[in-house]
Amino acid sequence: MLRLILQIFAGVMWAGGAGAQSLAGITWECGFGGSGTEQGCAIQVTADGGYIIGGWTDSFGAGGADACLVKLDRSGVLVWQAAFGGPLDDYGQSVQQTQDGGYILGGYTQSYGTGDYDMYMIKTDASGNCVWQKTFGGSDYDVCRSVQQTRDGGYILGGDSRSFGFDCDMYLVKTDSRGELEWQAASGDPENDYCLTVQQTPDGGYLQGGDCEVWTGTRRYDWDMCLRKTDDQGRLEWRKTYGGPFNDGCRAVQMTRDGGWILAGDSSPGPGCAFDAFLVKVDSRGQRQWQRTYGSPEWDEAHAVIQTQDGGYLLAGCSEWFGDFDAYLVKTDPAGRPLGESLVGGPDHECAYALLEPVPGAWLVAGGRETGDGSGDLLLAGSQGLMPATCLHPGRSWSDDLAFRGGCKSHGLDSVTFHLPEGCKVWLEVCDVAGRAVQIRQHPPLPSGVWLPAGRHELACDCRHLPSGVYFARLTAGHRTEVQKLVVLR
């Protein structure tokens, strides 16, 4: 099922030194989801100017959790969605548009393959139809967390494996353009290593980023960020670790315009302490240039990072500053000094896992929202200049639990009808294109947060005092929200 949710609010900022500011002012947030849980793990701008989101859902599909793709056009309107998997749990983690205009989705599967979990790669056409799917791994636990099309038209999958070598190893799989195995390589390090991302390097080799266990010399292991550089056949060239005296983790790595790399993750300042978001900048040989931590007195994590058009960096993750986790963004200068921080979220648990800068100075994140009943939605959020039309009702829905109809064009008199499957509190408001609430006359009057019984309801809305233009009627019933576009004509 698909549910659309819109929340518009001012960005939240806490002091981060002189010049600290909220990012991009007003932000927007949309959720896609059904009766179960969804999570967006990766997002990319597509060749047509739209967006592709990869992740997983347990609201629909073949059973258990299923890997999924969501395609939006350049205005954010849903174009199509697709789920992949079998009767057990299958997860999508990474997506990329391929050279033929289709998509490659990487993740892991319990439904297919030979082990507990196996790497799972799905190739689709431009409309999300499965062209082929492949699994890789051994008799134990093997997962893909990152996939990328290589310059020869094949694919590189990065993840970790318990089927080869020691307890858990970083794991690389190289295939041809049809998904047929060319070679595979496990790191073989004596300590545990986990690969979160892989990228092909300019010399044709590969760079893996993730976490590794490090012996402290005091009869204990800690975790550090780790980079592992290989040649074009997966043979090790160098390996570097980064962090402090306690636990540190890497969640994302991106190449920078100077040929180096930026790593994002989290770092603990001491035993039992909450983690901080963590950035490390290294050169092309993995030599550390600088590192910085960011966040509140509570738990903060970075799951994605990009170099922005101005040469600085933008990281995204989550923060526990206000109790429940909210999606968290930090903008820095080229040296990692913080310029602004923002939270995106509400009363639920939100986290950002993927990040884009589609146009200079504007940001777009994908992630997940967990609601109080244990279900969750795929989260899409961005800055004001990128407000998508997906926050409107796009005319297609996988859920009839909350049916909401309003006029698309009117001369100021309109009616809103909706059906409630059960009694709950209801809010109705009209916003302009900037997200500012505007006053309308309703009949019968509907006070904010009034409880209404199950059944059909109809409201007459008088907008004749409003200037001509586009407005959005937003109906919230319990935890469900629907938004309808309203064009007022004169």
pLDDT tens by residue, 46-80:
999 888 999 998 877 777 899 999 998 877 778 89
Secondary structure class of 389 (helix, strand, coil): helix
Task: Give the Cα separation of 96 and 103 in Å (integer).
Answer: 6
- Asked if pLDDT for residue 85 goes beyond 80, the answer is yes
Residue 447, pLDDT > 80, answer no
Q: What percentage of residues in the chain have a pLDDT greater than 70? A: 70
> Residues 240-261: pLDDT tens digits?
999 887 888 899 999 999 999 9
Residue 208 near residue 201, CB atoms below 8 Å: no
What pLDDT is attached to residue 399?
30
Q: Do 391 and 382 contact (CB within 8 A), yes or no?
A: no
Contact 19, 358 (CB under 8 A): no
DSSP 385: G
The SS3 call for residue 8 is: strand
Amino acid present at 55: G
**Distance in angstroms between the alpha carbons of the first and the last residue of the chain:** 38
DSSP state of 390: G
Rounded mean pLDDT, 409-422: 59
Q: Which is more confidently placed, 179 or 482?
A: 179
Point out which residues pair with 480 in neighbouring strands: 477
Q: Supply the pLDDT for residue 396.
A: 26
DSSP H or E stretch at residue 70: strand 66-72
Can you give the pLDDT at residue 262? Answer: 98
Give the number of other CB atoms < 10 A from CB of residue 153.
12
The more confident residue out of 194 and 30 is 194
Residue type, 256: T
pLDDT at 474: 67
Region 8-25 average pLDDT = 33
Angstrom CA distances, 359 to 45, 290, 308, 386, stand at 11, 27, 10, 9
Distance CA 366, CA 368 (A): 7
Using CA atoms, how far apart are residues 254 and 280, in angstroms rounded to an integer?
11
Residue 380 is given by DSSP the state E
What count of other Cβ atoms lies within 10 Å of the Cβ of residue 322? 15
Query: What is the rounded CA–CA span in Å between residue 220 and residue 145?
Result: 28
Cα–Cα dist 53/72, whole Å: 8
pTM reported for the whole predicted model:
0.73
The CA–CA distances, whole Å, from 425 to 194, 308, 420, 451 equal: 46, 42, 10, 4
Compute φ and ψ for 244, nearest 5 degrees: -100, -160
With 0-12 / 13-18 / 19 or more C-beta atoms within 10 angstroms meaning exposed / middle / buried, residue 254 is middle
Contacts of 30 (CB under 8 A, 6+ apart): 4, 5, 6, 76, 379, 380, 381, 388, 390, 391
Q: Nearest Cα to 94, choosing from 81, 86, 105?
A: 105
What domains sit in the chain, N to C, each tagged with a CATH number?
4-391 (2.130.10.10), 403-488 (2.60.40.10)
Q: What pLDDT was estimated at residue 321?
A: 72
Q: How far apart are CA 139 and CA 113, in angstroms?
A: 9
3-state secondary structure at position 490: coil
pLDDT at 451: 74
CA distances from 140 to 81, 175, 234 (A): 31, 21, 21
The better pLDDT of the pair 402, 435 is held by 435
The first and second tokens of residue 308, run together, are: 């922005």
Token look-up 């949710």 returns 5
With 90 as the cut, is the pLDDT of residue 157 above it? Answer: yes
- Report which residue type is found at 341: E
* Across 463-484, average pLDDT: 67
- Residue bearing tokens 């970083």: 170
Burial per residue of 202-237, b for 16 or more beta-carbon CB atoms within 10 angstroms, e otherwise? eeebbbbbbbbbbeeeeeeebbbbbbbbbebebeee
